[in-house]
Amino acid sequence: MTSPASPSTRAGWRWIRSRTTSRPGRISRNRRDMPEPTGTAKLAGEILPGVYHFTMHDDRIDSQSDSYAIIEKGKAILIDPLPMAKKDLKKVGPVAAICLTGSCHERSAWRYRRELKVLVYAPQGGVDFEETPDRWFKANDRLPGNLLAVHTPGPTEAHYSFFLERNGGVVFCADLLTNAGGEGLAFVAGEYQDEPARTRASVRRLLELQFEVLCPNHGDPVVVGAKKAIAQALKKDAATSA
């Protein structure tokens, strides 16, 4: 059904998924069973004006993880932040808020909340957050940075993508699709998602948005022909599933 993953990567996805399938609405405080990734993410560059990409090898899943920062009115919004070098964090400017696509992408959010004294926004219905978010959002809410919260269930129920309308349109798709090593968009193995069919339905709905760039949480951004790449991924997945 999906592109194969290495044994270590598959084990990593199993670990992350095990933390996101508990009873809906339950928040587990002060958990330490999913630490930050070890090391520091590299500032890969400014992929569009005011959109920065960070990447690293994530030791927790033995694969690539990625995060983003957008600049709005001179202030940065961190999306699912990875640990960053101080000089890179300074480069993106003062941080106004942190926005999480789901509870499996807390990463360095809580440490940065304490250090930077900013609010963390997280989706309603997310479970097992290590700490309590400051603000909850739901589908179609406007978040800091003028991000639109798009409910894209499948990996988990409370899984969201963020839509940025400027720069020709940018979608931050979290775990809907991967692009590890820039080798092409693919779906995470179905056994590591709550509802694989809904993941695919969510991806198809993304095509209704007007955007040119796709930014996954695990893999390089697709900065040219994002919609075409998504259509190809869906076609390949359908052929494999037939």
Q: What is the pLDDT of residues 87-122, one digit of tens each?
A: 999 999 999 999 999 999 999 999 999 999 999 999
What's the residue count for the chain?
242
Average pLDDT of 160-165? 99
Alpha-carbon distance of 226 to 173, in angstroms, equals: 11
Mean pLDDT value of segment 213-233: 97
Residue 1 within a domain: no
Tell me: pLDDT of 222 over 90: yes
183: domain CATH number is 3.60.15.10
Q: Place 192 in a pLDDT band, splitting at 50, 70 and 90.
A: confident
Strands across the sheet containing 75-79: 42-48, 51-58, 63-72, 75-79, 95-99, 119-123, 135-137
In the chain, how many domains are there? Answer: 1
pLDDT digits (tens, 9 = 90+) for 22-74: 333 322 333 345 689 999 999 999 999 999 999 999 999 899 999 999 999 99
Cα–Cα distance measured from residue 232 to residue 6, given in angstroms and rounded to the nearest whole number = 22
DSSP assignment of the chain, as one string?
A: ------HHHHHHHHHHHHTS-SSTT---TT--SSPPPSS-BEEEEEEETTEEEEEEEETTTTEEEEEEEEEETTEEEEESPPPB-HHHHHHH-SEEEEE-SSGGG-TTHHHHHHHHT-EEEEETT----SS--SEEE-TT-EEGGGEEEEE--SSSTT-EEEEE-STT-EEEEETS-BBGGGS--BPPPGGGSS-HHHHHHHHHHHTTS--SEEEESSB--B-SSHHHHHHHHHHHHHHHH-
Measured between alpha carbons, how far is 194 from 156 in angstroms, rounded to an integer?
A: 5
Task: Tell me if 185 sits within 8 A of 230, measured CB to CB.
Answer: yes
Asked if the model's pLDDT at residue 232 lies above 50, the reply is yes
Q: Is residue 2 part of a domain?
A: no
pLDDT of residue 136: 98
Domain that holds residue 201: 7-241
Give a yes or no: residue 237 inside a domain. yes
Measured from the Cβ of residue 72, the count of other Cβ atoms closer than 10 Å reads 16
For the stretch 129-157, pLDDT in tens is 999 999 999 999 999 999 999 999 999 99
Mean pLDDT of 173-186: 91
CA 229 from centroid of its chain's CA atoms: 18
> How high does pLDDT run on average in the chain?
88
